[in-house]
Structure 1
Amino acid sequence: MKILECGAAGPATVAIVGGIHGDEPAGERIVDRLARELPAPSDTDGEGTIRLIVANEPALKAETRYTDADLNRVFPGDADSDEYERALAVRLTDALQGTDAVLAIHTSHSAPPPFAIYSRLTDSVRRTVTGMPVEYVLDSSDLRSTTLDSVVNDAVSLEAGRQGSEDAVEFGHEAALDFLRAHGALADSPTFTETTIIKGGEEVPKGGGEPSVYYRNFEEIPEGEVFASDDVYTHRVDESGIVPVLASERGYDDIFGIYGRIAGTISPPDDVERASNE
């Protein structure tokens, strides 16, 4: 694990994590780019810190998702484990202690648009989500409890785009800068917008044979229509208001994606709303 520290314009300590999965190199590229762009701690007047972390260096080097276990499925981890990622989860969690906000950058085989993910809607998470240029955020509180954002307070994951694409690197870099602005780590002013909440529901299992997906991410599936199918399953929705998340024919071995339901919006922080009304 590589940890770099840069100077922040304000008092907050924030962290950006890339490389949780070794087959998603965009996060490492974004962290390295930010390390070149951001000032050293001695070159800023702020009391805070920007912590830049590349998490799973062996998996990145091997260009594989993980070496022993999926890092984003084994939090909070076990320091005594013989599995590299299970022990790494403890080290990464420790490295994020004392932070006011955390952004973990991911990519996927799923189609655009980029979106954010949270497990707990804290004030910091609200600031992160509405401060980035994403239209949707997945509330994953009823999904897995073994991801980074499920065990680290004030953490948000960003699905920056399609795995291996330059668009994901560029979007993730700009979103990371907006994250830093939202928490006062950069001197220039942030921009906040409302974000639509998608409540995560059940995973959509995949069987075998030729897979087909008929609806894009966040596209509402009409009641009675088929979302996805293969030689084993035909997934027909039986209610309205269902949208797919992480929809992909070949991106995952065992699922087509996740069913979500539109659950309202997240508004910008109260201090932003008060400022805009003065």
Structure 2
Amino acid sequence: METIDRGSAGSARVAIVGGIHGDEPAGERIVRRLADELDADGTGSGSVRLIIANEPALAAGTRYTDTDLNRAFPGDADSDEYERALAPRLAAELEGMDAVLALHTSHSAPPPFAIYSEVTPSVRRSVTAMPIDYVLDASGLRGTTLDSTIPHTVSIEVGKQGSEEAVEFGYEATLAFLRAHGAIDDAPPTFSATTVVAGDREVPKGSGDPRVHFANFEQIPVGAVFAEDDEYTHTVDEEGVVPVLASEEGYEDIFGIYGRISGTLEPPAAGDGADLATEESD
């Protein structure tokens, strides 16, 4: 793990994490670009922490070395599995942060979207400041991810794995995140309402040839087959189901997640966040 600290224009302590998965190099590229561009010393009392998490997996170009880091939190410092031992070290680097953004790419089709497990004032600012239309409420899903265990954390899926578009979009999204928390002052932050999709359950994948028939956030008609392989045929039997992280090859054991549009996350009220560090540490 590599940690790079930079100065801030504001009072909040924020962090951006890339390289949680070694086959998603966009996050590392974005973090290194920010490290080159941000000043070592800022005009404010806050800080920007840039982290490249899973260096061995990045070097190998594989999702992980021993176990999926984003399924290993809170982890075990004494574990023989590299990622399970890395998880508490990463958590320690993020302790006390007012806002955290974790960068990801996927095999899913666009659009990019965010993920949270709990709405705090900080999370509201992060999500509604970034140029995304959807956010997944993952509070009912796994409790072993970074955003489910580290306060004020938002994950963002910035685009297709391996694409330049994902790198560029992710870079712009991180700038919007930094503006939202006062870490950079090149332009005022802008906020907009974001559609919330409540995660229901993971859709298991088995053996054989995987086939996915619907894209992210596309409503699946009752009676339609979302995904299938030699072991499973997933027919939707309820109204209002939309897939998230829909992919044939992105995950070893799931086709994605079933969700439902549950409402919108509104922007912070005017004037909210005048003292970001105090508000977000509460």
Q: Same fold (TM over 0.5)?
A: yes
Post-superposition Cα deviations, 1:93-125, rounded to whole Å, max 9, x if no partner, equal: 000112100000011111111100000111100
In structure 2, distance between residues paired with 1:68 and 1:207:
21
SS of residue paired to 1:271: coil
SS of residue paired to 2:11: coil
SS of residue paired to 2:209: coil
**1:210 CA drift (Å):** 2.1
Give 1:66's aligned amino acid: Y
In structure 1, distance between residues paired with 2:21 and 2:241:
29
Unaligned runs of 5+ residues in structure 1 are: none
Picking from 35, 46, 49, the partner of 1:48 is 46
Q: Which deviates further from its counterpart, 127-136 or 200-209?
A: 200-209
**Aligned twin of 1:216:** 215
Post-superposition Cα deviations, 1:21-52, rounded to whole Å, max 9, x if no partner, equal: 111100000000001111111xx211110100
**Aligned twin of 1:33:** 33
SS of residue paired to 1:144: coil
**Aligned twin of 2:86:** 88
Picking from 167, 170, 173, the partner of 1:169 is 167
In structure 1, distance between residues paired with 2:188 and 2:60:
39
**1:274 CA drift (Å):** 11
Picking from 64, 67, 86, the partner of 1:66 is 64
Post-superposition Cα deviations, 1:222-272, rounded to whole Å, max 9, x if no partner, equal: 122111122222211111110000111122222111100111000001235
Write out aligned runs for 1:1-278 (5 A): 1-41=1-41, 44-187=42-185, 188-271=187-270
Output the TM-score relative to the length of structure 1: 0.95
Percent of counterpart pairs with the same letter? 68
Q: Which deviates further from its counterpart, 29-38 or 65-74?
A: 65-74
Unaligned runs of 5+ residues in structure 2 are: 275-282
**1:209 CA drift (Å):** 2.2
In structure 1, distance between residues paired with 2:158 and 2:259:
19
Post-superposition Cα deviations, 1:31-75, rounded to whole Å, max 9, x if no partner, equal: 00001111111xx21111010000111111111111111111111
Give 2:198's aligned amino acid: K
Runs of 4+ in 1 over 6 A off after TM superposition: none
Give 1:227's aligned amino acid: F
In structure 1, distance between residues paired with 2:87 and 2:205:
28
In structure 2, distance between residues paired with 1:268 and 1:149:
20
CA RMSD in angstroms, aligned pairs only: 1.4
| Alignment length (residue pairs) | 273
In structure 2, distance between residues paired with 1:54 and 1:45:
25
SS of residue paired to 1:219: coil
**1:213 CA drift (Å):** 1.2
In structure 2, distance between residues paired with 1:58 and 1:212:
31
In structure 1, distance between residues paired with 2:272 and 2:63:
41
**1:221 CA drift (Å):** 0.7
SS of residue paired to 2:49: strand
Post-superposition Cα deviations, 1:127-168, rounded to whole Å, max 9, x if no partner, equal: 000010110000001111010011100000011111111111
In structure 2, distance between residues paired with 1:191 and 1:272:
13
**Aligned twin of 2:278:** none
In structure 1, distance between residues paired with 2:69 and 2:123:
22
SS of residue paired to 2:89: helix
Give 2:48's aligned amino acid: I
In structure 1, distance between residues paired with 2:76 and 2:13:
26
Give 1:114's aligned amino acid: P
Distance verdict in 2 for CA 1:131–1:67, change over 3 Å:
same
Output the TM-score relative to the length of structure 2: 0.94
